[in-house]
Amino acid sequence: MQARDPRTSRYIRDAMAREMLDCETEHELALAWRDHRDEAAMHRLISAYARLAISVAGRYRRYGMPLDDLIQQGNLGLMRAAEKYDPDNGARFSTYAAWWIRASMQEYVMRNWSVVRTATNAAQKKLFFHLRKTLIKLEDGEINPEGLSARVARELDVPEAQVEIMMGRMSGQDLSLNIAQGPDADGRDWLDALEDEDVETETQVLDSLEFRNRRQLLHSALKTLPDRERQIMAERHLSDSPRTLAEIGAEMGISKERVRQLEERALSRVTNAVQEAARLRVSA
């Protein structure tokens, strides 16, 4: 087993020595973060449960991942849990956080366990993390190997075809696409045998020109709108973080219903203007 990085060892010692939170303190910290965005409260909450991420990371080391990477992924899950946790739902934060920690580590393991992506849906995810244990259980019972995949499928409640696919993936090794196909391949490697699925250059150029034309038509149409309608369109449809009707209404001093009416009118005007400009361009 690879020697542990001294920095990781030091981090684990520090994390395990941190305070244990009682239920009341945990609830107060969660409320402070949720209601007041108190970063000190969030930091104290996450720091107290860093030991939980370390504990879960130890169970995932059997997949060959570095412990420090697993701990980091667990901490990301811990932060995600703190962001989403509702202290009024009655559950302890540690119980809620454990799910996010495991989810973060499982996603990391599946991304990195094999160069070929191993699990792409819920059934394959279940298989990835439970297949070996289930196989050992069934083989101890001297199950006929020919019916093993069907028995695993029933045991884990997943399609048999998915079991066979996962058994094949997990029994194989990753091979480089840059190795020769064989002695009679004239120096060609397996990468040469892959079909290029990229869009043809001509299609890319045509799509780019079409997108540019549409954008020009849209911008021209927006310029014809009254200032207030143009602002609403920009805030609602052209922003990376669209604002709500209520927010825009409060800024403009009008009701959100009035904002909605102006938005609908602006959309209608823009649509008509774009269609008319496109028609004139085609006829020309």
CATH code (residue 257): 1.10.10.10
Euclidean distance between CA atoms 62 and 246, whole angstroms: 52
Kindly state whether residues 105 and 38 are assigned to the same domain.
Answer: yes
Q: Looking at the domain assignment, is residue 98 inside a domain?
A: yes
Kindly state whether residues 37 and 13 are assigned to the same domain.
Answer: yes
CATH code (residue 91): 1.20.120.1810
Which position has the higher pLDDT, 277 or 115? 277
- Per-residue pLDDT at 251 exceeds 80: yes
Q: Looking at the domain assignment, is residue 182 inside a domain?
A: no
CA-CA-CA-CA torsion for 216, 218, 223, 225, nearest 10 degrees? Answer: 170
> Do 134 and 156 meet the contact criterion of CB atoms below 8 Å apart?
yes
Kindly state whether residues 11 and 108 are assigned to the same domain.
Answer: yes
Kindly state whether residues 166 and 81 are assigned to the same domain.
Answer: no
Kindly state whether residues 51 and 129 are assigned to the same domain.
Answer: no
b/e for 190-202, b at 16 or more Cβ within 10 A?
Answer: eeeeeeeeeeeee
Kindly state whether residues 71 and 129 are assigned to the same domain.
Answer: no
> Do 57 and 67 meet the contact criterion of CB atoms below 8 Å apart?
yes
- Please provide the DSSP assignment of 145-211 as one string: GGGHHHHHHHHHTS-HHHHHHHHHHHHS----TTSBS-TTSTT-BGGGGS---SPPHHHHHHHHHHH
Q: Looking at the domain assignment, is residue 185 inside a domain?
A: no
Kindly state whether residues 234 and 163 are assigned to the same domain.
Answer: no
Kindly state whether residues 104 and 167 are assigned to the same domain.
Answer: no
Where in the sequence is the domain holding 140, given as residue range(s)? 122-171
- Per-residue pLDDT at 25 exceeds 90: yes
State which of 112, 136, 157 marks the end of a domain: 112
How many folded domains does the chain comprise?
3
User: Of the ranges 144-153, 226-235, 245-254, 268-277, which one carries the lowest mean pLDDT score?
Assistant: 144-153
> Do 155 and 134 meet the contact criterion of CB atoms below 8 Å apart?
yes
pLDDT tens digits, residue range 62-89?
Answer: 777 788 888 988 999 899 899 888 888 8
Which residues have CB under 8 Å from 234's CB, separation 6+?
222
Which position has the higher pLDDT, 170 or 18? 18
Q: What is the pLDDT of residue 59?
A: 81
Label residue 254 by pLDDT band (50, 70, 90): very high
Q: Looking at the domain assignment, is residue 176 inside a domain?
A: no
pTM assigned to the model:
0.45
Euclidean distance between CA atoms 201 and 219, whole angstroms: 27
- Partner residues linked to 189 by β-bridges: 180
pLDDT tens digits, residue range 275-284?
Answer: 777 677 655 5
Q: Looking at the domain assignment, is residue 195 inside a domain?
A: no
pLDDT tens digits, residue range 183-206?
Answer: 555 555 544 544 444 444 445 555
pLDDT tens digits, residue range 131-174?
Answer: 667 766 665 544 444 566 777 777 777 777 777 666 655 554 44
